[in-house]
Structures are given as C-alpha cells and as structure tokens.
C-alpha cells in the first residue's frame, strides 16, 4: 500500500476504533497517509510480506480540515493494558518523518474495552475526599520552598507551619529526592511526625506528599516505606520516570494516593505545532491510575491559557470507561488574591497549590497558610477579598505585596 492508500474520507470509524487527532504541517494527502501508515502497518515502500489479512489492520485518515487530521486505528493493533505499546504506535516514529515538518497529537478517543484494560485511579476525587475528610471546599496545598536545599529539620518546620496554618496538603518539589542534605527516610519519618502533631492540634486530616521519583526498584521500595510508616500519599514525576515505570508502580496497588507532578511536560506540549498536548497527557495519566494531577491554572506563572486548562480538567472528570475521576491541581504563581477567580473557574473539586503565595507572606509560612485558607473561606461566602481583609490582618498584608 502507498501512503495515499491510507486516506479514505468516506470511512466512518466504528465504536471500537481508536481515533487520534493530529495537527500536521504541511497537510497533504501523502503526508497524512504517511502518519497513518507508519503508525500502523505501513512503511516507506511497498513490501511483499504484507498479506491481505494484515491490510485489514491499516489505520485510516478519515477527516482532514485546515491543518488537522483524524486517524482511525483498529483496536486489534494494540495490546490491552500496555501503554508503552500504545504510544509507540500513535506517538512514536511519526514525529521524525521527513514527509512532515511538524506534528502534534492533540486529542484521542479510546474505546471502552481499551480504557477498561487499565487500572485507573485507586482513589479518585471521591476517595481522596473521604480519606482526607474534606467535603465541600477546595483542598489547600503547598510546596516546600525553597524547592530544594533545606536540611531535614527546616523542611519539617516549614511543613508543620503550613499544616497548622490551614493547609491540607504539603508536598516535596519535583527535584527533591534523597540528597545528602535531606535524605528520604529521615525526611519521611520526621515530616510524618510533624503531620501527626498538626492533626492533633487542628483536628483536621493532613497529608504529606513525599516524592518517591527514582529508578523503578527504588521508587517501589520508597512507596512501600511510605505505606509502612503510615503515610497517605506519594508523589511521582510522571514524565521523567516514564509510562512503564508509572504503570508498574500503580500495579503494586499500594494504599497510597498518587500525586502526579508533570515536570518536563512542556517539552512535549508547549510548542503549539509539535509534540503531544497536555490534554492527551492527562488522559494517559488517568488511564495508568494517578489520583491527582497538575493541570495548570490559566493564571499565575505558567504559559497555558484558560481554555487549555479547562480541557485538561474536563478529561480528568468526564465519563471515561469505568475509571474514577482525577483531582485537578492548580499551581504556578498562585496567591490569596487569585483564589476567587480560581474557585469560579475550577469549582470546588480541585487543589489550590501555592508555594511562594504562602511562604512569601511577609509574616511567614504559618500566616501565609492562614491567608490562603481565609481567601477560600471568603470566596465560598461570596465576600470580596478586599472586604474580608478589613477584619483579617493576614489578608490585609497580602494586598500590599500581590496584585490580581
């Protein structure tokens, strides 16, 4: 079959087809067909080993508009429950072909049988709320700052103050592992002790999200250690550990909520013309089974627009086979004055995760956490932050250093 033979604009995908949407430059019939061929049964020249029964497994370009194409893939092309195999086809060699100058996988529709061959989240939104006993408001989280370099004693102090001030969740940043200045096991033990103390003092459930990211063997050992010491959460840098490692970690079925950090995602998604969209990455994370995922905020310091963040949230919460919903995390340059806009945009099922917006408060971490919690309280009551600040000094200080 020639590349052009993989294009059939009269083809109607079946319910069992995988449908992928790509942005492609240039869009020609040959270029579109090349993507379909190379991601299914074809190659650069006709071969005499291609049998008639094999041709039935060919992918088909069935829609072309502007610079977008949609390709239907027979389900039989993929091994169920094998994400690396799936991506090797629909997001593999096709990115490097001479026939195209740029290619971006922007969306995909998966049949139920393929979706349900993956485990999906163990807890999901409802499970996290039940475990953390946070029922009707957004979760408040923070990141230890500076993101790396603190010794264990100071790390624990920051975490404790954040919890006592009103945070539900405190997490490591993406590049903290088990460096000599803050080794994993010691940090885990001491921080969980501080968490227990904060729970006793506040009467609220608290969560420490420790970063277990490492090679697969160490990652599983660290997750087991967290469970053994009574932790509720682990964090994984899902892009840098890779889909195979993430899937293997999830398959251990630890009684731990998996927090997915997306460090490195922009290498795939930031270029508007090439790579893989964050929306697709979000679907992949939900398939594998993370419980909560960074999605951007639409405001703050990250590059994504609100429309993109909205799409990311949608794929985490919409019907997706039998898989549970994933809790979105808003992060990146957030502070108390932005809370009303965040809640209006996200609703209540999300995590407001602020680092500098808590630790950068003039009166320190504890007061910074209080200010964020007060901002949530004011927003849910429908009271403007400026008005609430008149009776709450923690918020009044924020008005002096941050702007909407």
- Residues in contact with 211: Cβ distance below 8 Å, sequence separation at least 6, in sequence order: 171, 172, 173, 174, 176, 177, 234, 235, 236, 237, 261
Q: Strand runs (DSSP E) across 263-350, as ranges?
A: 275-276, 292-294, 327-331
Alpha-carbon distance 140 to 318, whole Å? 23
Residue 9 is classified by DSSP as: T
User: What's CA 312's distance to the chain center, in Å?
Assistant: 9
> Coil, helix or strand for 42?
coil
The one catalytic residue among 70, 171, 206, 261:
261
Helices (H), 166-255: 184-202, 216-228, 238-241, 243-251
* Distance from C-alpha of 380 to C-alpha of 93, rounded to nearest angstrom: 49
Instruction: Give the per-residue pLDDT at 304.
Output: 75
Q: What is the CATH number of domain 3-115?
A: 3.30.70.150
pLDDT on residue 301? 63
Give the C-alpha separation, 343 to 254, whole Å.
Answer: 31
Spell out the residues 6+ positions from residue 228 whose beta carbon is closer than 8 angstroms to its own: none
Residue 302 confidence (pLDDT): 62
**Residue 180 appears among annotated catalytic residues:** no
Bridge partners for 22 per DSSP = 69, 105
**Whole-number Cα distances in Å, 372 to 26, 166, 297, 326, 399:** 48, 8, 16, 23, 12
Q: Element (H or E) spanning 23, and its range? A: strand 18-25
Q: Fill in the DSSP letter of residue 293.
A: E
Using CA atoms, how far residue 67 sits from 29, 106, 128, 186, 266, in Å, is: 11, 12, 41, 53, 22
197 is catalytic: no
Determine phi and psi for 387, rounding to 5 degrees: -70, -45
The predicted structure's pLDDT at residue 332: 84
Catalytic position from the list 104, 145, 274, 317: 145
DSSP state of 39: T
Give the helix ranges, DSSP H, for 106-183. Answer: 112-115, 124-132, 152-165
pLDDT in the model for residue 46: 72
How is domain 124-401 classified at the CATH fold level?
TIM Barrel (3.20.20)
Q: Please compute Rg for the chain using Cα positions.
A: 23
List Cα–Cα distances, 172 to 32, 197, 238, 240, 245, in angstroms.
Answer: 43, 19, 14, 16, 20
* Residue (of 141, 201, 199) closest to 170 by Cα position: 141
Distance (Å, whole) CA 6 – CA 101 = 19
| CATH 3.30.70.150 residue ranges for the chain | 3-115
Over the chain (404 residues), what is each successive 10-residue block's mean pLDDT?
94 97 97 96 71 84 97 97 96 93 98 98 98 96 95 98 98 96 98 98 98 98 98 98 97 98 92 96 98 86 81 97 97 92 95 95 96 97 95 93 84
- CA distance to 20, 163, 231, 376, per residue, from 140 (Å): 36, 10, 18, 9
Q: What is the predicted pLDDT for the residue at 298?
A: 77
Q: What pLDDT does residue 213 have?
A: 98
pTM of the model: 0.95
Query: Which residues, listed in sequence order, are joined to residue 71 by a DSSP beta bridge?
Result: 20, 61
What distances in angstroms separate CA 120 from CA 48, 184, 280, 322, one per listed residue? 41, 27, 15, 8
């Amino acid at each position: 079959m020639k590349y052009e033979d993989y294009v059939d604009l009269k083809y109607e995908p079946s319910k069992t087809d995988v449908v992928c949407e790509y942005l492609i430059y240039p869009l020609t019939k040959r270029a579109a067909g090349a993507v379909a061929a190379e991601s299914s049964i074809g190659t650069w020249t006709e071969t005499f080993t291609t049998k008639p029964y094999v041709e039935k497994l060919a992918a088909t370009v069935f829609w072309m508009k502007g610079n977008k194409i949609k390709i239907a893939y027979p389900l039989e092309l993929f091994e169920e429950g094998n994400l690396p195999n799936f991506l090797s086809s629909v997001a593999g060699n096709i990115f490097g072909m001479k026939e195209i100058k740029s290619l971006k996988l922007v969306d995909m529709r998966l049949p139920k049988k393929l979706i349900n061959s993956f485990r999906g989240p163990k807890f999901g939104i409802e499970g996290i709320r039940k475990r953390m006993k946070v029922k009707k408001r957004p979760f408040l989280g923070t990141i230890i700052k500076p993101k790396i370099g603190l010794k264990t004693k100071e790390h624990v102090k920051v975490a404790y103050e954040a919890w006592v001030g009103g945070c539900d969740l405190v997490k490591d940043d993406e590049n903290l592992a088990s460096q000599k200045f803050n080794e994993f096991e010691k940090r885990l033990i001491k921080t969980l002790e501080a968490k227990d103390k904060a729970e006793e003092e506040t009467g609220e459930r608290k969560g420490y999200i420790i970063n277990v990211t490492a090679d697969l063997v160490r990652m599983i050992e660290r997750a087991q250690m967290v469970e053994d010491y009574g932790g509720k959460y682990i964090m994984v840098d899902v892009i840098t550990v890779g889909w195979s490692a993430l899937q293997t970690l999830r398959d251990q079925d630890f009684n731990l909520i998996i927090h997915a950090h997306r460090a490195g995602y922009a290498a795939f998604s930031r270029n508007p013309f090439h790579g893989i969209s964050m929306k697709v990455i979000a679907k992949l994370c939900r398939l594998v089974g993370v419980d909560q995922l960074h999605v951007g905020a639409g405001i703050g310091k990250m590059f994504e627009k609100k429309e993109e963040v909205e799409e990311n949230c949608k794929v985490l919460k919409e019907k997706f086979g039998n898989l549970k919903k994933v809790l979105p995390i808003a992060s990146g340059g957030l502070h108390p004055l932005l809370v009303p806009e965040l809640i209006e945009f996200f609703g209540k099922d999300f995590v407001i995760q602020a680092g500098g917006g808590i630790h950068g408060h003039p009166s320190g971490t504890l007061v910074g956490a209080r200010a964020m919690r007060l901002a949530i309280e004011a927003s849910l009551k429908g009271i403007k932050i400026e008005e609430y600040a008149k009776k709450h000094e923690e918020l009044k200080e924020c008005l002096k250093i941050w702007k909407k």
